[in-house]
Amino acid sequence: MKKSHPIRRVVLATAATVSGVVLLLSLKPATDPAGAAAAPQAGASAQGGAAAAGSGTVTGSAVQTQYGPVQVRLTVSNGKVTQAETVQAPKGGRSDQITADAVPKLNQAAVAAQSAEIDAVSGATYTSAGYKQSLQSALDQVKASGGSAGGGAAQAGTFTGAVAQTQYGPVQVRVTVSGGKITKAETVQAPKGGRSDQITADAVPKLNQAAMAAGSADIDAVSGATYTSAGYKQSLQSALDQAKAGGGSAEAGSGAGAGSGSGAAQASTVTGAVAQTQYGPVQVRITVSGGKITKAEAVQAPKGGRSDQITSDSVPKLNQAAVAAGSADIDAVSGATYTSAGYKQSLQSALDQAGG
């Protein structure tokens, strides 16, 4: 038998290789179209899921503690809390260290629990209690909007922002929204007394005008009113968070303090903003069903000394009056003028959120 020539072996090997490559190339088009079709389908599914999910931010009420205010803001996605952060927390002296240690733990616990049922951080009892209360207020707003927060355009209505504490006093903003725009902005509370009176009189009209012009909380501070401006923007953002969450109340033009809306309120529990009074904070929580207040309770009320007796006498009467009236248009309890005023203010804030 003759031996194969080396050149012949090379030619045969090359031919085999080329044949193999041609065969692979001929098979490739059969698999590519399926892969190409699968990619758009996966993308469409992801986009559809994102569109269906409610998302955004909502800010809880500012809660006064023995060492300073605590306020929580939540980011919600697909009906779940994905981020918790503190807008306000006790500061100064020993509080700085306590806050730095406690707040991250509380934020993490809130996301993990998806509720306000979280444990207090050891050594930060007051901050933990305030955090949980503000967290519950934010969650109430999320529930009132059907599990979303700030995911869409601002709803028509009147919304009262949370109280923002500043170095010179509380600031609180109420906005009226119509057609997705701020048609009216006003201050419910602003620093007062001494030099603050002049600063407030000069700054607040400018801030109100700026809020309407910008349609957001992204406004410039008024010169000479840094603290008031910062508090205004914070409370304004809180009000806008409520508007985006869909907790619509009275239609624009029906009156910010009317206490009645054009649409029925959703069945929910809503916590009003903290109202500061001469004798202590007042805060109201209401349960609304079928567009009516079915339950009203005071989350905070003045306490200590003579205030204990006044509170125990007046609060049950105010709660009963709120349910009976279905609005914040209730009479003050005799001998409890300041508590009554604070109660009505916080009640109106809750009604603004609930839609009544």
Look at the alpha carbons of 36, 38, 40, 43 in this order and tell me if their dihedral is positive or negative: negative
What is the pairing mode between strands 275-277 and 280-289?
A: antiparallel
What integer pLDDT is reported at residue 59 of this predicted model? 83
What integer pLDDT is reported at residue 138 of this predicted model? 85
What integer pLDDT is reported at residue 263 of this predicted model? 39
pLDDT per position as a tens digit, 80-138: 889 999 988 898 889 999 999 999 999 999 999 999 999 999 999 999 999 998 899 88
pLDDT per position as a tens digit, 127-154: 999 999 889 988 887 777 665 554 455 5
252: left (phi over 0), alpha (psi -120 to 50) or beta: beta
Contacts of 285 (CB under 8 A, 6+ apart): 140, 269, 270, 271, 272, 296, 297, 298, 299, 350
Mean pLDDT value across the chain: 77
Q: What is the phi/psi pair of residue 265, to 5°?
A: -75, 150
What integer pLDDT is reported at residue 186 of this predicted model? 92
Give dist(CA 120, CA 135) in Å, integer. Answer: 13
What integer pLDDT is reported at residue 166 of this predicted model? 84
Amino acid at 54: G
Place of tokens 């951080």: 121
The pLDDT of residue 342 is above 60: yes
Cβ–Cβ under 8 Å, residues 265 and 327:
no
What integer pLDDT is reported at residue 354 of this predicted model? 72
What does R_g of the chain's alpha carbons equal in angstroms?
Answer: 29
Q: Model confidence at 15, in pLDDT bands (50, 70, 90)?
A: low
The pLDDT of residue 45 is above 80: no
248 or 221, higher pLDDT: 221
Q: Model confidence at 288, in pLDDT bands (50, 70, 90)?
A: confident
30 or 46, higher pLDDT: 30
250 or 300, higher pLDDT: 300
The pLDDT of residue 26 is above 80: no
Mean pLDDT of the region 6-25? 55
3-state secondary structure the chain: CCCCCHHHHHHHHHHHHHHHHHHHHHHHHHHHHHHHHHHHHHHHHHHHHHHHCCEEEEECCCEEECCEEEEEEEEEECCEEEEEEEEECCCCCHHHHHHHHHHHHHHHHHHHHCCCCCCCCCCCHHHHHHHHHHHHHHHHHHHHCCCCCCCCCCCCEEEECCCEEECCEEEEEEEEEECCEEEEEEEEECCCCCHHHHHHHHHHHHHHHHHHHHCCCCCCCCCCCHHHHHHHHHHHHHHHHHHHHCCCCCCCCCCCCCCCCCCCCCCEEEECCCEEECCEEEEEEEEEECCEEEEEEEEECCCCCHHHHHHHHHHHHHHHHHHHHCCCCCCCCCCCHHHHHHHHHHHHHHHHHHCC
Cβ–Cβ under 8 Å, residues 355 and 159:
no
Please count the other Cβ atoms lying within 10 Å of the Cβ belonging to residue 340.
22
What integer pLDDT is reported at residue 32 of this predicted model? 35
Contacts of 195 (CB under 8 A, 6+ apart): none
Mean pLDDT of the region 156-185? 84
Give dist(CA 250, CA 262) in Å, integer. Answer: 6
What integer pLDDT is reported at residue 10 of this predicted model? 52
Cβ–Cβ under 8 Å, residues 328 and 257:
yes
Q: Model confidence at 256, in pLDDT bands (50, 70, 90)?
A: very low
183 or 267, higher pLDDT: 183
Most confident range (mean pLDDT) of 33-37, 180-184, 309-313 is: 309-313
Question: Within 13 A of 263's CA, how many CA atoms are on the CB side?
Answer: 18
* pTM, two decimal places: 0.43
The pLDDT of residue 323 is above 70: yes
The pLDDT of residue 257 is above 50: no
